[in-house]
């Protein structure tokens, strides 16, 4: 795998170059936002790891221009901006995944492999079919949920609820079981809090074709488009 790392933190890009290089991956580092697009065009990497706060040019502007030019390289954003709004902004700009600093190297490796594999499969298949494009799926290696090729930017509790429901699509999952998965070890939380999380998740699923159904007395059920 050929990777382009756009990152101005010397200690971080040195560590990542050494750690990922041990996997046999080729790492190209660019620390200047103004030079990033030129390096991207010339290198034609398999995956781009992009910081947002860069000297010369902001990472979001780099990403937006790359997408405007038709560059489809998978992009994993690495940044200290870890708020939900920042994640949504990055994903809306065209990022495929988002990892907030500080992060675990094993998780980074898993996410990079998932991006590379999915992009390679889509390229080989010609990104075949509207059904695959619109699919809602859970990527076990990275822990992310995708709608087509895009990561759903969800808060941790809504993500945990969706992961649990995606494990049993079309089947009822008891509210008690979901509460345990969404609020593990949090005895002080009211049981009804799971309803608030479900309400918020239902709104986030709008446009994906997935329907979160409340089954009174049983729990919740996730219907996926057929």
Specify the pLDDT at position 129: 43
What pLDDT does 201 receive? 92
Instruction: Tell me what pLDDT residue 135 has.
Output: 66
- How far apart CA 52 and CA 6 sit, in angstroms, is 9
Find tokens 């446009």 and name the residue.
Answer: 207
In the prediction, which pLDDT does 130 show? 41
Given the candidates 2.40.280.10, 1.10.10.10, 1.10.3720.10, 3.40.50.300, the CATH classification of the domain at 154-223 is 1.10.10.10
Burial 159-179 (b: 16+ CB within 10 A, else e): bbbbbbbeeeeeeebebeebb
**Residue pLDDT tens, the chain, 226 long:** 899 999 999 999 899 999 999 888 999 999 999 999 999 999 999 999 999 889 999 898 999 898 888 888 999 998 876 566 666 677 777 888 888 888 888 889 988 988 888 777 655 555 444 444 456 777 766 677 887 777 788 888 999 999 889 888 888 889 999 999 999 988 888 998 999 999 999 888 887 888 888 887 778 988 887 6
Query: What residue segments make up the domains of the chain, in order of their start?
Result: 2-147, 154-223
Residue 115: the pLDDT is 85
Decide: helix, strand or coil at residue 5.
Answer: strand
Helix (H, G, I), strand (E, B) or coil at 28: strand
User: In Å, how far are 13, 26, 33 from 16, measured between CA atoms?
Assistant: 5, 11, 18
| CATH 3.40.50.2300, applies to 2-147 | yes
Does the reported pTM lie above 0.85? no
CA distances from 62 to 2, 54, 192, 207, 214 (A): 19, 10, 44, 28, 42
């Amino acid at each position: 795998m050929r990777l382009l790392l756009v990152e101005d933190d010397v200690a971080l890009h040195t560590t990542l170059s050494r750690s990922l290089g041990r996997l046999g991956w080729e790492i190209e580092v660019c620390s200047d936002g103004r030079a990033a697009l030129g390096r991207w065009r010339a290198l034609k990497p398999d995956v781009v790891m992009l910081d947002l706060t860069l000297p010369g040019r902001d990472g979001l502007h780099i990403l937006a221009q790359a997408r405007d030019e038709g560059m489809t390289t998978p992009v994993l954003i690495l940044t200290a901006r870890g708020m939900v709004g920042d994640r949504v902004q990055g994903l809306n700009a065209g990022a495929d995944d988002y990892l907030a600093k500080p992060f675990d190297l094993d998780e980074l490796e898993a996410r990079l492999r998932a991006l590379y594999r999915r992009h390679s499969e889509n390229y080989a298949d010609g990104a075949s079919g509207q059904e695959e494009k619109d699919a809602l799926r859970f990527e076990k290696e990275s822990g992310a949920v995708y709608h087509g090729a895009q990561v759903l930017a969800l808060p941790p509790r809504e993500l945990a609820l969706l992961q649990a429901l995606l494990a049993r699509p079309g089947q009822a999952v008891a509210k008690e079981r979901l509460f345990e998965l969404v609020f593990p070890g949090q005895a002080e939380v009211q049981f009804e809090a799971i309803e608030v999380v479900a309400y918020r998740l239902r709104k986030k699923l709008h446009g994906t074709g997935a329907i979160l159904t409340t089954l009174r007395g049983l729990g919740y059920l996730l219907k996926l488009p057929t």
